[in-house]
Chain A
Amino acid sequence: MLNYVSKRVLIGILTLLAASIVVFIVLEIVPGDPVRLMLGINATEDAVQALQQQMGLDQPLLTRYFSWIGGLLTGDFGKSYTYSVPVLNLITERIAVSLPLALISLFLSTIIAIPVGLFSASRRGTLADSGTMGIAQIGVAIPNFWFALLLVYVFAVSLRLVPAGGFPGWNAGLWAGFKSLILPSIALGLPQAAILARVTRSALLDVLGEDYIRTARAKGLTRRKVLYRHALRNALIPILTILGLQFAFLLAGTIIIENVFYLPGLGRLVFQAITQRDLIVVEGVVMLLVATVILVNLLVDLSYALVDPRLRGRS
């Protein structure tokens, strides 16, 4: 077990390191002088020099990279040029919106998709199956931000059941905060659920064609018992794989959806930073999101070992 786990963890760390180099190169080296890019052509020489010094641009590249990485590890993401506050403060403030949104959507899509996939797979070829999968097929094609617009139109503009957007802040109470995340979570979660339901169904059908399913049936298990006791666990690997990939899309989706609902999350932060050319903020947010994707993929890899004894190796 240690073999597989330690290899995965090592790979995760190395990937993270490589990703940090990519981010550093794109945002600090490619622009040539990031300060001039940030301040524009009309900036005064004094301002330029001051910022250059603050960012440590007079240092050699390697030193800059290591002090940046060292900062990230100790929670020092640098200081935002536009807000003049530490980037970490900005991020923690915004992540209180983005993270719950992503998690609620993930939860929503999983608890919808897996039962639907099981339902469809156990009724393969019936009207119920083709109906469900037809809806899922359409669901997959719906862009989440457009779905969000439709939800806003129906539930906020026409029915006035929920606010059309904005976020009162968690200080206004848990329920108030949660309420403003309902529509965004649905908009994000449902199209994801459609994808996951299709994957679940096809993974189950693949497994149901295996020889050991026939062995289980020959033992006297009913179709239903075979589905739950033998097929589901074996189908988990492809399902987990997609779930991991989905999380990356979900993060991207969160960033986009926040724009529909005017939610003050990481997405809004990063787009404002782009317009204001605040590269330090962009760098911090991108690095955080990349690290999250890598971490989630690592967790998925590790969960394979729980599902599949073959990966654990000889104990």
Chain B
Amino acid sequence: MSPEWQGNISKAFSNRSFVIGLTITVLLALMAALSLVWTPYAVGSFDILGKLKPPSAAHWLGTDHFGRDILSMIMVGSRNSIAVAFVSVVIGAGVGVPLGLWAAARGGMIDEALMRFNDLVFAFPALLSAVMITAVFGPGAINAIIAIGIFNIPVFARVARGAALSLWPREYVLAARASGKGSARITVEHILPNMMNLLVVQGTIQFSLGILAEAGLSYVGLGSQPPMPSWGRMLFEAQTMIGMAPHMALYPGLAIVITVLGLNLLGDGLRDILDPKMRRERS
């Protein structure tokens, strides 16, 4: 373990944002994992007689218009949110980071081409990509993943490129070049490891944005489809019942807010802990 990490761990647990964020995130992950083996009620079980019930001892968060248990649906829905956000971060980082590193290492035309590619992708917010994909292929959770993932690519490419450009003129990179190392090797040994902090923080931010974007897409019907429960879809269904059963809208929304808040706090905390600006050794 590098000394940086040893120092960081003690610093991490005195950082309030990090601790709260990590707690929320871990609880959420546990809830999603638990839903794989157990939920209070089966999410497929309809109970027309017990529909639109406000929260009670039997149904902690009440039931929806089909009498389904809202807590169980939130639990199962979390899997959907996490999966979509996670895979789109993986797509974004997996494609974007190598692109950014490559552009920074080569410079010139390749760098220029990457910047223009970024401009192009930035012109397509995830919603617009999803609209196009759905118009052609029909709706589905996979659309959301692709649309959000594509939008993540330039984000990671830009972060990786910027960080790499600031690392290349460093004297230790020059020393490595004077030791005959090629740009691929230097990128792996010196550039990438020294930007991991930034990438982890950006990953957290994109993860939370992914949760929000997925909720938005499934709310307008461009994301996961029934019967798979998703938080955005639950809010869509709650909309027509808002007068009769406001709890249907309240809890899935709160689930989104708490999840995103937790991830953002985690990201803020990580940035405070890892930010090279705040741990400048020289001053």
The answer to whether A and B touch in the complex, with CB atoms under 8 Å apart, is yes
Q: Give the interface of A toward B (CB within 8 A).
A: 11, 14-16, 18-19, 22-23, 26-27, 30-31, 37, 137-138, 140-143, 145-146, 149-150, 152-153, 157, 245, 248-249, 251-253, 255-256, 259-260, 267, 270-271, 273-274, 277, 279, 282, 285-286, 289-290, 293-294, 297
| A142 contact set on B, CB distance < 8 A | 253, 257
Contacting B242 at CB < 8 Å: which of A141, A149, A271? A149
The A interface, classified by DSSP as helix, strand, loop or mixed, is helix
Contacting B127 at CB < 8 Å: which of A22, A138, A256, A279? A256
**A11 x B219 contact (CB < 8 A):** no
Contacting B249 at CB < 8 Å: which of A140, A146, A249, A273? A146
**A157 x B243 contact (CB < 8 A):** yes
Instruction: Let me know if B34 is at the binding interface, CB within 8 A.
Output: no
Nearest B residue to A259 via CB reads B220
Nearest A residue to B134 via CB reads A274
**B128 x A14 contact (CB < 8 A):** no
| B221 contact set on A, CB distance < 8 A | 271
Instruction: Let me know if B153 is at the binding interface, CB within 8 A.
Output: no
| A277 contact set on B, CB distance < 8 A | 135
Nearest B residue to A18 via CB reads B120
Contacting B125 at CB < 8 Å: which of A15, A27, A271, A293? A293
* Bound Cα distance A286, B239 (Å): 26
User: Least Cβ distance of B85 to chain A in Å?
Assistant: 13
Query: How many A-B residue pairs lie within 8 Å, measured between CB atoms?
Result: 133
Known: A137-B268, A146-B256. 14 other contacts (CB 8 A): A23-B132, A138-B257, A138-B261, A143-B219, A146-B235, A149-B235, A152-B242, A252-B125, A252-B216, A260-B239, A279-B136, A286-B132, A293-B125, A294-B123
Contacting B246 at CB < 8 Å: which of A138, A153, A274, A297? A153
Nearest A residue to B256 via CB reads A143
Contacting A22 at CB < 8 Å: which of B124, B208, B215, B261? B124
**A27 x B123 contact (CB < 8 A):** no
User: Least Cβ distance of B101 to chain A in Å?
Assistant: 23
- Residues of B in contact (CB 8 Å), total 44
**B127 x A255 contact (CB < 8 A):** yes
**A143 x B131 contact (CB < 8 A):** no
**B127 x A141 contact (CB < 8 A):** no
**A248 x B135 contact (CB < 8 A):** no
| B215 contact set on A, CB distance < 8 A | 143, 145-146
Q: Which of B233-283 contact A (CB under 8 A)?
A: 235, 238-239, 242-243, 246, 249-250, 252-253, 256-261, 264-265, 268
| B135 contact set on A, CB distance < 8 A | 27, 273-274, 277, 279, 282
* Bound Cα distance A189, B115 (Å): 30
User: Least Cβ distance of A131 to chain B in Å?
Assistant: 14
| A267 contact set on B, CB distance < 8 A | 220
Nearest A residue to B151 via CB reads A248
**A143 x B242 contact (CB < 8 A):** no
Contacting B238 at CB < 8 Å: which of A11, A138, A140, A149? A149
Instruction: Let me know if B116 is at the binding interface, CB within 8 A.
Output: yes
**B136 x A14 contact (CB < 8 A):** no
User: Least Cβ distance of B52 to chain A in Å?
Assistant: 15
Given A146-B235, A149-B242, A149-B253, residue A141 in contact with residue B261 (CB < 8 A): yes
| B133 contact set on A, CB distance < 8 A | 26
Instruction: Let me know if B212 is at the binding interface, CB within 8 A.
Output: yes
* Bound Cα distance A283, B113 (Å): 26
**A289 x B128 contact (CB < 8 A):** yes
**B116 x A15 contact (CB < 8 A):** yes
Given A256-B219, A270-B131, residue A293 in contact with residue B120 (CB < 8 A): no
Nearest B residue to A145 via CB reads B219
Instruction: Let me know if B159 is at the binding interface, CB within 8 A.
Output: no
* Bound Cα distance A22, B246 (Å): 42
Contacting A27 at CB < 8 Å: which of B136, B222, B268? B136
Q: Which of B130-149 contact A (CB under 8 A)?
A: 131-136
**A27 x B253 contact (CB < 8 A):** no
Q: Which interface residue of B238, B242, B260 has the most chain A CB atoms within 10 A?
A: B242
12 contacts between A and B (CB under 8 A): A22-B124, A26-B133, A26-B136, A141-B259, A143-B256, A149-B239, A153-B243, A256-B219, A256-B220, A277-B135, A286-B131, A294-B123
| A143 contact set on B, CB distance < 8 A | 212, 215-216, 219, 232, 253, 256-257, 260
The 3 A-B pairs at the shortest CB distance, nearest first, are namely A146-B253, A252-B127, A141-B260
| B134 contact set on A, CB distance < 8 A | 274
Instruction: Let me know if B46 is at the binding interface, CB within 8 A.
Output: no
Contacting B264 at CB < 8 Å: which of A23, A141, A274? A141
| A149 contact set on B, CB distance < 8 A | 235, 238-239, 242, 249, 253
* Bound Cα distance A27, B239 (Å): 31
| A273 contact set on B, CB distance < 8 A | 135
| B116 contact set on A, CB distance < 8 A | 11, 14-15, 18
* Bound Cα distance A150, B258 (Å): 16
| A15 contact set on B, CB distance < 8 A | 116, 119-120, 123
| B257 contact set on A, CB distance < 8 A | 138, 141-143, 146
User: Least Cβ distance of A146 to chain B in Å?
Assistant: 4
